[in-house]
Amino acid sequence: MKTINKMIMKEGHNCWKTEKATRIRFLVDSDSYFIALYDTIINAQISVFIIGWGIHSKLLLHRDDSEYEYPIRLGDFLNAVAEEKPEQSIYGV
């Protein structure tokens, strides 16, 4: 991994800084990814950056019949989090 990091990521050039990861999780299917995204955005304290997405605001983040704290449709979810946590910034690029 160090070789790739040195080739691609250059501190002060194309990233702020690099750090060694102490944990990693691979999300292979979309259900796992969107569940993790939902939880991560809820728990974010300062900023959320959504980069390079080509998805629709009506995408469902959970696909079961359980009750959730926030809406499960992406657009409604992001709006609800932004309204409840005005100190948190959500960016999409």
Structure confidence by residue, pLDDT tens digits, 67-89: 899 999 999 999 999 999 999 88
Tokens of 76: 């409604």
The pLDDT of residue 13 is above 80: yes
pTM of the model: 0.67
**Euclidean distance between CA atoms 55 and 84, whole angstroms:** 23
